[in-house]
Copies of this chain bind each other. A is one copy, B any other.
Amino acid sequence: MSLTLTPLTNIPLIRQGDDLADILLTALQETNIELQDGDILVLAQKIVSKAEGQMVNLAAVIPAERARELARQSGKDPRLVELLLRESAEILRVRPGAIIVEHKLGFVCANAGIDHSNVAGEGDSVEEWVLLLPRDPDQSSRMIREKIQTTTGKKIGVMIIDSHGRAWRIGTVGVCIGLSGIPAVIDERGWKDLFGRELRITIVGAADELAAAASLVMGQAAEGTPAVHVRGFPYPLRESALKELLRPKEQDMFR
């Protein structure tokens, strides 16, 4: 069976308080997609954060001394660094142009996932507004999923993704930052290979692989689309949580 990812191109600009489940159902209808059991909807972090009101006006942020110091080291706006500190559990690396953190949500990423692009406030200069990540992306995924399941009667999965850089490879890739009803990982330990030997060590980051695929389809710039419909995910859907994908700090190879 093929895996098919279809961008939902007719999502309007999202504002605080918008009901994403309703908007997705309308977009699916306009794209002539009828949901089936096992389908997945992948959403860009951006629209979830906007709907949840995670915009912050930088003009209202007062950087403390630590933020001003990290801003000097990184060359970043001190107000942005102040927000980044508030969003982070730990600062891991500071280099010119980049601050790598462990986000409070548990994953490692640059700049605490704070997004400067495609964010407009209400009546203020576009330049002053940034967007924080959703407060609880697993929970956001679950709520959108439940509303769509109730409306359609179909069992689906919902995932929220962001684009992350990698330590030693160039280019961002889509990664899962929250999900509901989709296996985060596939644990193949104990499965047999073609010659009957156990595949002892393989855990597949299936949700991240799907996130990367969806990110490819979304694109990044003005013509990008913030939601993708997926059919043919090759594993049974099940309940899971982001933390299945997060390596415990003591197993982290680089701390």
Residues of A within 8 A of B (CB): 1-7, 13, 93, 95, 97-98, 100, 107-108, 117-120, 126-127, 163, 166-175, 184-186, 188, 191-195, 197, 199, 201-206, 208-213, 215-217, 219-222, 233-234, 244-247, 252-255
The CA-CA distance from A37 to B6 in the complex, in Å, is 20
Q: Is the CB of A221 within 8 A of B192?
A: yes
A191 adjacent to B222 (CB under 8 Å): yes
How far does the alpha carbon of A8 sit from the alpha carbon of B3 in the complex, in Å? 12
Q: For residue A122, give the distance in angstroms from its CB to the closest CB of chain B.
A: 13
Known A93-B253, A168-B253; 5 more pairs at CB < 8 Å: A3-B217, A108-B167, A167-B247, A199-B221, A209-B213
Q: Of B193, B213, B220, B222, which is within 8 A of A213 by CB?
A: B213
Cα separation A215 to B252 with both chains bound (whole Å): 23
- Is the pair A188, B221 in contact by a Cβ cutoff of 8 Å? yes
A234 vs B194: C-alpha distance when bound (angstroms):
34
**Could you tell me the distance between the alpha carbons of A195 and B61 in the complex, rounded to whole angstroms?**
22
- For residue A222, which residues in chain B have a CB less than 8 angstroms away from its CB? 191-194
- Say whether A188 contacts B3, CB under 8 Å: no
Query: What's the Cα separation between A249 and B205 when bound, in Å?
Result: 26
Given contacts A191-B221, A205-B171, A208-B169, contact A6 B2 (CB under 8 A): yes
Q: Is B167's CB under 8 angstroms from A205's CB?
A: no
- A253 and B98 form a contact (CB under 8 A): yes
Q: Which residues of B lie under 8 Å from residue A171 when comparing CB positions?
A: 184-186, 203-206, 208, 245
Report chain B residues within 8 Å CB of A95: 253
Q: Which of B204, B221, B234 contacts A163 (CB 8 A)?
A: B204
A209 touches B215 (CB 8 A): yes
